[in-house]
Amino acid sequence: MIEINRWYQNDCTLGRLTCGDFQCWTLELPYLYNQQNVSCIHAAEAYKGRKHISPNNGNVIAIDNVLEREHIQIHSGNYTSQIRGCILVGDAIKFLNDDKIPDVTNSKRTLEKLMSLLPDEFNISIK
């Protein structure tokens, strides 16, 4: 089970992901009413997650049953410019580039650790 607790900013959505004893940070686009490619997805208690290999992002967590959205993933990356509705994970929140939007660090390593803890299919709650 993955749980993400969010807080919304004007330029991004930040969160704290927990999976058992494991914790990390999340970075998403701001909430703009679930619009494709520019908004994070709706908060919901009952998303289905599964391990998946994406042609573009490699090993990812696919998030299924997202209302009015497709191909939503938890994948590695550092900046909001690298996402179109997905969720990035990292071990810290910092300002890494000059866009003045928070970023996440050590994303690939954080995702690898998270993936190692998960079964092939599981539930995801976003609050």
Convert the pLDDT of each residue in 47-74 to its tens digit: 999 999 999 999 999 999 999 999 999 9
Can you count the helices (H) and strands (E) in the chain? 1, 10
What pLDDT score does 45 carry?
Answer: 87
In degrees and rounded to multiples of 5, residue 45 shows phi and psi of -85, -15
Asked if the model's pLDDT at residue 28 lies above 90, the reply is yes
The distance between the two most distant Cα atoms of the chain, rounded to a whole number of Å, is 38
Kindly state the DSSP code that residue 82 receives in the 8-state scheme.
G
SS3 content of the chain, % helix, strand, coil (to 5): 10, 45, 45
Q: Is 47 exposed, middle or buried (0-12, 13-18, 19+ CB in 10 A)?
A: buried
Looking at the chain, list the stretches that DSSP marks H as alpha helix, in order from N- to C-terminal side: 107-117
The pTM of the full predicted model, rounded to 2 decimals, is: 0.95
Q: What total of structural domains would you count in the chain?
A: 1
Q: For residues 122 and 36, what is the distance between their CA atoms, to the nearest angstrom?
A: 24
Q: How many CB atoms lie within 10 A of CB 87?
A: 27
Range of the domain at 101: 2-126
* Mean confidence (pLDDT) of the chain: 96
Q: For residues 75 and 125, what is the distance between their CA atoms, to the nearest angstrom?
A: 17
